[in-house]
Amino acid sequence: MIDYLKVARVDHWLKNIFIVFGHAVAVVLVLDMEIGSSTLLQAALSLVPACLIASANYILNEILDAPFDKLHPRKQMRPIPAGRVSVPILWGLMGVCIVVGFALAVWWFRNPGYWVALGLLLLSGLVYNIQPVRLKDRAFLDVIAESFNNPIRLWLGWFALVETHRFPPLSIMLAWWCFGGLLMTGKRYSEFRFIGDKDLSGQYRKSFQIYTERSLIIAMIVYANLFCFCAGWAICSYPPLNNLVFVFPLIIVAVALYFRHAMSEIGARLEPEQLLQNKWIILSTMVTAVAAAGLLWAHKSGTFNARSFLDSPSDYQVP
């Protein structure tokens, strides 16, 4: 039973914490930071169907990747390539996750936006893994497709609390997508270095036939800059977010720590999923989150307004 849970990657359900970001955006921009018990309940329930659909995608991924995992130094010990589980049972488990996930979504949420977002989460897993599309094998498109799960999770969090006719801001969706692109490219970079053999890595993952360390580093820099641009766009556009301009130095520190860890010798020896488990990355993320919450509340309570603080004097005269 433990091996079947490993294939379903129950331990990866923590990734759905990104849905909480969608909750936070909805609370700040729509609910005016007013949180009641019903809001907390809806937020908690929204995680369950997403976790089940995510497990369905993980099962599909592991079944289709089993021939390639046999070529990986560590993944060859996963339950499917090691022959410790039954594939037909896994197909059945995948079907159960999908049916139960959507049934709970329809039961708990009367918002079609949430259902559509959940469907997109499932669809992203299909196009990522199944031929002839299988974006997982296409360099750079694999990162774009995998990181698209970030805005999908944003939508799941948002539509769990907000009616369908109101959509989250484009700037925030793009920022969250680019942030996912940064993390996924760092994952590719770590994995590329972890295997350490160009020919073997190309057999394991076709996109690695195209990738180089240099191209992956450039891609990480591009995603980091796009994230900062889109986040700045959102902060300037929405008054409740104006105070977050002072969070940017902390964000830069967190991104720098991620780069440093991903490019270190230790990072090269880690599995990709272990990259974010670095204590300094975790600490910087927590500090950033606490600072952001404090600045948002400062705007709500009227104790501090970054726009008033940073506005230039109005008595300048144009020659």
Residues with Cβ within 8 Å of residue 17, at least 6 apart in sequence: none
Query: Which pLDDT value is given to residue 270?
Result: 57
Under DSSP, the state recorded for 75 is G
Query: Which pLDDT value is given to residue 230?
Result: 96
Tens of pLDDT along 132-158? 888 888 889 999 999 999 999 999 999
Distance CA 231, CA 10 (A): 31
Tens of pLDDT along 35-88? 889 999 999 999 999 999 999 999 998 898 887 777 766 677 778 887 788 889
Element (H or E) spanning 36, and its range? none
For every residue of 94-118, which 3-state class applies, written as one string? HHHHHHHHHHHHHHHCCCHHHHHHH
Residues with Cβ within 8 Å of residue 56, at least 6 apart in sequence: 94, 95, 97, 98, 101, 122, 125
Task: Answer for the pair 181, 218: CB distance below 8 angstroms, yes or no.
Answer: no
Query: Is this structure's pTM higher than 0.85?
Result: yes
For every residue of 178-247, which 3-state class applies, written as one string? HHHHHHHHHHHHHHHHHHCCHHHHHHHCHHHHCCCHHHHHHHHHHHHHHHHHHHHHHHHHCHHHHHHHHH
* CA 137-139-144 angle, 5° bins: 95
Residue by residue, pLDDT tens for the chain (319 residues) are 788 888 888 887 877 888 999 999 999 999 988 888 999 999 999 999 999 999 999 999 889 888 777 776 667 777 888 778 888 999 999 999 999 999 999 999 989 999 999 999 999 999 998 988 888 888 899 999 999 999 999 999 999 999 888 899 999 999 999 999 998 898 888 878 877 666 666 666 778 888 888 999 999 999 999 999 999 999 999 999 999 999 989 988 988 888 887 777 776 555 555 666 778 888 888 899 999 999 999 998 989 988 888 776 655 555 5
